[in-house]
Chains A and B, each alone.
Chain A
Amino acid sequence: MDIRFSDCSVKFKTHVALHPFSLVLSERRIGIIGLNGSGKTTFAKLIDGLVKPTSGTVTVNGLDTVKDARAVLSAAGFIFQNPAQQLIMPQVMEDIVFGLKAHGLAQVEAEARAKAALARFGIEALGPRRVHELSGGELQLAAIASVAATGPDILIFDEPVNQLDLKNRKRVVDAIHALPESAIVISHDLPLIEDFDRVLVFHEGRIVFDGLPAASIAHYREIAGC
């Protein structure tokens, strides 16, 4: 994985979300922490092109997020804070198949890939279930499966264990740890990123610390005043 930010900044109409910065990401497990409104989500969305930089460029494995937007979407998958809003078909299986068919697969192949995606995360039983009947943990795993099914090399998570009880939290944490894909995880849940390769601390639109988890978490605690 090779993600490069060159002199990037993101300015919205009312405020600056991210002040200019340059950065290279290549580690397999990267954590992103910081107070609410510090720019974490904007930064994460820069990676797969959901947010375009106001200045500078972002490249993912050599692909520019503005010029090669579609290719970047194939390379990086984004799992949003609310998994219920991420699943867009009534049934779990339908949702995954729909996403695969939109990428050009035929029905039969899509169904096979979808089953494999569900099996990967141990949720084959959820295939025929209706999305609105799923629990928080089941929703989160189903959302991960649906995004991972199309084969991105990089998975970006925005608060993946936010609303989960202990049991479901463990299921999702284990799933994330076992991913062969690279993972970039925004998390308020600090234990989740404790053994990651690198953790970035955001504060008021800037990266104020960049290093190993223990040091980053300590710095974050200082900023938060606890």
Chain B
Amino acid sequence: MLTSLYVEGDTFLHRQRPGAKLALILVVGLALYFTGRMAVQAVAMVIAGAIYFSLPMTVREAVYRLKPVLLAIAVLGLINIWLLSPQEAAVSTLRLLAVVFLAAAVTATTRIGDFMETITWILQPFERLGIIRAADVGLALGLVLRFLPDIFAHYEGLKEAHAARGIAFRPLRAIGPLMILALKDADAIADAIDARGIRGDVSPSNGERR
């Protein structure tokens, strides 16, 4: 149902570690925000754009992925020309484009699995503080991807039930019932997870829960 944004390839970016790429975005992003010189932003945008559009996907696909954010940047740029000055508008627009192109390039060249490993690693200090268990993030992500089609099927089921009874289907009215259908399996799924001993030191809680 969900196709990842990863694009298969073997470019320079593909070969870097996810952590390094994330750090790169942060460093470049921060640096660009600390300078107001248009020349710097322009160069950054051109380089980032070149990297992004040189990736192994069609220009159409590359643009399609960023359509919403490019639109927002364009609108904001126009507003800035009116509010501030063409110069300042150009600076902020070029900066946003540079950052967005670079970020999109990193997303396209990093596999989800590799990202998850990095995210799990980043969360380790939080694990020591007792706020979150890094392994749970992988489990949670798996659960989302596993049950997404089931929940979609629940939604389609609601549509069909309405059609069968000749009642007009209003998507917004279906939100409540959809929530209930989706969430009522939670306890049974949790039981199965605990029975397989999947979560380290967590052992099953007793019988009834609600």
Contacts and interface: CB of A to CB of B under 8 A. Distances in A.
Check A-B contact in the complex, CB < 8 A: yes
Interface string B167-194: 0000000000000000001001101111
A75 to B, nearest CB: 10
B146 A45 contact: no
Interface string A2-15: 00000000101100
Contacts of B200: 102
A102 B199 contact: yes
Most buried by A among B135, B195, B196, B198: B196
The interface residues of chain A, by DSSP majority, are classed as mixed
A225 B78 CA distance: 81
A48 B142 CA distance: 25
Contacts of B150: 84, 132
B204 to A, nearest CB: 5
Interface string B141-161: 011011001100100000000
B203 A80 contact: no
B3 interface: no
B138 to A, nearest CB: 8
Given A12-B208, A85-B185, A88-B192, A70 B203 contact: yes
Interface residues of A, number: 37
A82 interface: yes
A147 interface: yes
A46 to B, nearest CB: 10
B145 A90 contact: yes
Given A87-B146, A88-B143, A90-B146, A80 B192 contact: yes
19 contacts: A12-B207, A48-B195, A49-B203, A50-B195, A69-B204, A73-B196, A73-B197, A73-B203, A80-B191, A85-B188, A88-B193, A89-B146, A94-B142, A98-B139, A99-B198, A102-B135, A102-B198, A132-B146, A132-B153
Interface of B: 135, 139, 142-143, 145-146, 149-150, 153, 185, 188-189, 191-201, 203-204, 206-208
